[in-house]
Amino acid sequence: MSGAKILVVDDEPQIRRMMRATLTSSGHQVDEARTGEEGLEKFREFLPDLVLLDLNMPGMGGLEACRALRSGSDVPIIILTVRNAEKEKVEALDAGADDYVCKPFGMQELLARIRAALRRAPGSPESGPQRFLSEDLEIDFASRRVRARDKNIRLTPKEFELLRHLVMRGGNPVPHRELLQAVWGPDYGDETDYLRVFINHLRKKIEADPAHPKYVLTEPWVGYRFAISEDSTTE
């Protein structure tokens, strides 16, 4: 996706300069911030399509800034960090990030991650079911609206696409790799920690009892499936 507005939040000037040069040469509009606090201000002014957010910054850290952004927006967020431990990845994803890139990184890798994050932006055309309806869950795929137990539920784009793909498979198990490549893109496949976090997010939002899910079920050693009962309909 060319021509996207991208906000770069990083306290390292050389990183910002490198990313600005590469992103603008790829056709994107770029604004930048040095701190989490400045990033939130720039976000409100610039209204970006995607945020590149450093995890380690003075003042408001990347995790706190990510939570603040995610509390009011579904914009894709890619975390940039020198940390590579699974714990840090899970913390970033739990904070609302869509993806995670470790420094040092190649710009072609980063551009691929940006394309993957923008690929399923709200409003993108997509084939598949248009509606799912049961006694306590309603999903309108055309309008991207979800209601659970008579309450409107806000899903991030990645959460929504994950739910869509599970429902598309009509109750059949979907392998981890298929889900990752369908939602994040063909360069993904081994990032099962992404799925664990996003499945947990989905369950917390749509299940009456997330610890004992009714809809989003785990298939041990395989992946996940969406349970479709006799009293539900998919159109």
Cα 189 to the center of its chain, rounded Å: 15
Q: Where in the chain is the domain with CATH 3.40.50.2300?
A: 5-118
Q: What pLDDT score was predicted for residue 16?
A: 93
Rounded average pLDDT over 104-123: 80
**Fold annotation for 131-234:** Arc Repressor Mutant, subunit A (1.10.10)
State how far the Cα of 179 lies from the Cα of 161, in Å rounded to an integer.
9
> Which residue intervals of the chain bear CATH 1.10.10.10?
131-234
Give the pLDDT confidence score for residue 121 in this predicted structure: 45
User: Over the stretch 127-141, which tens digit does the pLDDT of each residue have?
Assistant: 567 889 999 999 998
Residue 64 pLDDT > 70: yes
Confidence at residue 145, expressed as pLDDT on a 0 to 100 scale: 93
Residue by residue, DSSP assigns 155-192 as --HHHHHHHHHHHHTTT--EEHHHHHHHHT-TT-SS-H
How do residues 155-200 score in pLDDT, each as one tens digit? 998 999 999 999 988 889 999 999 999 999 888 999 999 999 999 9
Phi/psi of residue 6, each to 5°? -120, 130
- Full-model pTM: 0.85
Q: Do residues 93 and 67 touch, judged by C-beta distance below 8 A? A: no
Domain 5-118 top-level CATH class? alpha beta
Q: Is 230 exposed, middle or buried (0-12, 13-18, 19+ CB in 10 A)?
A: exposed
